Structure 1
């Protein structure tokens, strides 16, 4: 009996020890994730710039990422970051910064290409300046928040947010692409029917979107080109430049003339809020009162409700935070959002890219002030992205013109977001597992202890 009692006692001790061991492991895991180390754990890794297979392969991946990303209006950062991390050899946060440089180059090239194009069905530029004026200031505010979060947030949290967000947006965009494809198929069938009936009038398939005149169906309105001077709305462009310059002055002053977390540091950060709300609020009130319209939506772009305007501005902030945090273009949010608003795919892509030019260039300035990337590498990949974006725009526009299917842009958008989710998510999970096994610090960093 004593023998069996001893066994039962041993069993109780073993079970208790096992439970305590598991509890301790869970406690250690949570501690690794959420503790703050009183400083900053970031140490950058910048490989030497030398010609070899890494540069060649990275350039090819960056080229196709920029080509597809610029067409979809998403920038391509979800492809750049894994390439820069896994192939070139940068650390994750430096990859994020260089990714923003590439997005800026691709966006600038795409905007230059689009500045000569017109809306596919309406008499207006392909860039919707009123929509950009509503979203861009909030996007800039989000970018500043995202850059701060990039310093603070641990990689595991960024990975979780990225996977959830990208899977959702890519699915939504893909379903929108299928819907648009079906509408285009009906138009193609109607065109074939007219041709079979011997109708001699020219019939050209138009991409989905609003039309202000039924007679447009007999005209060729597929991206006619005009001069850049004629295609720019200078008042709206001037307001967008004002926001950009205001943010630039605030960022330079904050980083060069204040110490981190000082009173003036936070004052300058908070001054970005009235700048953003002032310009976006002016546009929102004008849209609500009917003095301005989101022209690319046709008659649907008038008399917007308060909750709609608040939602659009809020999503602009979210898009900026995602862009600054992950080193991606805000187009991953704006592209699907604009499509849901009923904006034609060409206009959605062009307007999202136009807004990203301002936000991405501001991110580059902020990351440069934080000394987050080596300039020679950044200049090289900017050149690669710039050339690739122009070629991608030219080839896809020709395909759309030939096939009569603007839904190609939506499918490219969905594909780019999905590939980004797989690549960035995979890299993030792999790094998280490696850090956990090596008992590395996985908690939040202290912005006030950041030392570039």
Structure 2
């Protein structure tokens, strides 16, 4: 079932990519920074008042009004017109901003709880409700995803891995995964699980205990985060030269595909809920029968050992991991494996325990510091390079070779980080294999194939995030689950990774002058609060009722409506332009070539 779904997904993605490639080739041939005939001109208040065909080049007044033909600025909770460019008070946005605050607050909580960033909602709602142009709306979306990611990290950072009873017994070689241990407790009753755990603790050398880990996979994060940041840098660079119609077309294709995947997620989750409720009913009946036979039988909790709903909230993904009940590997490991593992090299056992203790650290300082260094280093390069929204700290412009040298440094920095931590991940896996480390059945055993697959997935997700402003988690999350990662680990790791990527992209948009600072900071804060409040409430609701599918269904409907709205915006804009398709913009003009830079010096 998983293979079929994934192959269908891959085929759809390849078809979409092929269509977009043809579209890009067509427009490259047709246009060399071409402009439609008789374009509409807008009044820009810079330089004492000039005419421009694109308000993005009117620094500080990037919003355009088709009806009045002017470029205007946008202030948060604005109730009066601007003195420059809006003397007639056309744009009081107070109530739009208030309504958006409520919607963004709610969306942040639902999106983070569903394991996505919410960009599929923020982008179209920014254009429709806030009346942002397409590209500033994408930038605002990234600031919101960043805020929601911090809210999610506040909760996920304290959570532990779903398997809280990892043992120090050695992993056994198998064809399906060298050293991987299939759950000891699969297909066991509650009393059998308790007896097996007690037997394990009493066996061995008397120093046995259970181990666990953080729910965030920091090794996976250290590999994918730099690749996503590299993809995001490339995506924002490409996005700056795209005409609005092509940007919107790309957004429609990607959001439409996202809606389809979210709907599939809803169907899978709804099926899981039904199966889970049926299993609870059967367990209740069996438990009542056992109690009638033996009144001392301990009640079977319908929740998992850590007190959370066992499966439903964790598997918010389109792929569902399953194992064959007749699998010989599972049979080998699931019942009292100590009979096969009694003879153990004491030195290997000591090394395994050291590795298990290392992996159980909730906040690994070195790995967290490496992630912060990655982000800070990239941000310093951004500031040195500068852009239209924030001049270079060293006086560079896009006409100078140093500017492009720093563009190259962005990729060298991110790719360098990815290479270093890819090497460390492989060495880490090999060192653990050497002492028969008991890898969890959902662990990644890093090798050249897994490094290649996750690197490409990370770069592709970052590219999409940079181009249209949605979360990379829409793509990397399902990919992680397909690869066998536990859904709750995939959700938490994606949310953390998403925070680094979106913050970097939002900073790029601000530096490019495509996003007002006040809106970015305000909605960033709104989404932090919304994510913390919403995830807490939603987690409580799901834990109490087990009904999470309704949230994913609502999310799919909202994304579908948003996609439909973007289609309407696209055709409306094309109709106003007499169905003329603009070509690509020049990179330097799209970046530093603002009208303000060409004004004569003023004293």
Q: TM-score range by the shorter chain?
A: 0.7 to 0.9
The equivalent of 1:203 in structure 2 is 301
- Long gaps (5+) in structure 1: 1-28, 216-228
Structure-2 change in CA distance of 1:306 and 1:189 (3 Å): same
1:260 positional shift:
0.8
Query: After the TM superposition, which of the residue ranges 352-361 and 112-121 deviates more from structure 2?
Result: 112-121
- 8 Å contact from structure 1 (residues 155, 432) kept in 2: no
> Which has a greater percent of helix?
1
Q: Bigger radius of gyration, 1 or 2? A: 2
Structure-2 change in CA distance of 1:426 and 1:304 (3 Å): farther
Structure-2 change in CA distance of 1:82 and 1:191 (3 Å): closer
Query: After the TM superposition, which of the residue ranges 128-137 and 254-263 deviates more from structure 2?
Result: 254-263
| Aligned-partner Cα distance in 2 for 1:307–1:413 | 34
Would you say 1:366 and 2:508 are equivalent positions?
yes
The equivalent of 1:15 in structure 2 is none
1:214 positional shift:
7.0
- Long gaps (5+) in structure 2: 1-25, 36-51, 64-72, 80-93, 165-211, 291-297, 304-309, 316-320, 324-329, 336-359, 387-391, 595-603
- 8 Å contact from structure 2 (residues 442, 486) kept in 1: no
Counting only pairs closer than 5 Å after superposition, residues 245-256 of structure 1 correspond to structure 2 as: 245-255=376-386, 256=392
Q: Deviations over 1:128-181 (max 9, x none)?
A: 212211211011111111111121111222223223223334433433443354
Structure-2 change in CA distance of 1:183 and 1:382 (3 Å): closer
The equivalent of 1:12 in structure 2 is none
| Aligned-partner Cα distance in 2 for 1:190–1:74 | 28
The equivalent of 1:134 in structure 2 is 223
From 131, 135, 145, give the equivalent of 1:93.
135
The equivalent of 2:416 in structure 1 is 278
From 260, 276, 279, give the equivalent of 1:190.
279
1:244 positional shift:
0.7
- Paired residues in the alignment total 407
- Is the partner of 2:129 in helix, strand or coil? helix
Q: Which has the higher contact order (CA 8 A, sep 6+)?
A: 1
Structure-2 change in CA distance of 1:173 and 1:81 (3 Å): closer
| RMSD (Å) for aligned C-alpha atoms | 3.4
From 214, 221, 244, give the equivalent of 2:375.
244
1:420 positional shift:
4.5
Q: Deviations over 1:22-53 (max 9, x none)?
A: xxxxxxx9799734049994341133432532
From 451, 457, 482, give the equivalent of 1:309.
451
- 8 Å contact from structure 1 (residues 99, 328) kept in 2: yes
The equivalent of 1:167 in structure 2 is 256
Q: Deviations over 1:243-286 (max 9, x none)?
A: 11121121111111321153222221122223222322233344
1:367 positional shift:
2.0
The equivalent of 1:11 in structure 2 is none
When the two structures are superposed, what TM-score results if normalisation uses the length of structure 2? Answer: 0.60
Would you say 1:351 and 2:493 are equivalent positions?
yes
Would you say 1:65 and 2:107 are equivalent positions?
yes
| Aligned-partner Cα distance in 2 for 1:119–1:399 | 21
The equivalent of 1:221 in structure 2 is none
| Aligned-partner Cα distance in 2 for 1:119–1:406 | 20
The equivalent of 1:268 in structure 2 is 406
1:409 positional shift:
7.2
- 8 Å contact from structure 1 (residues 84, 90) kept in 2: yes
1:384 positional shift:
1.9
When the two structures are superposed, what TM-score results if normalisation uses the length of structure 1? Answer: 0.79
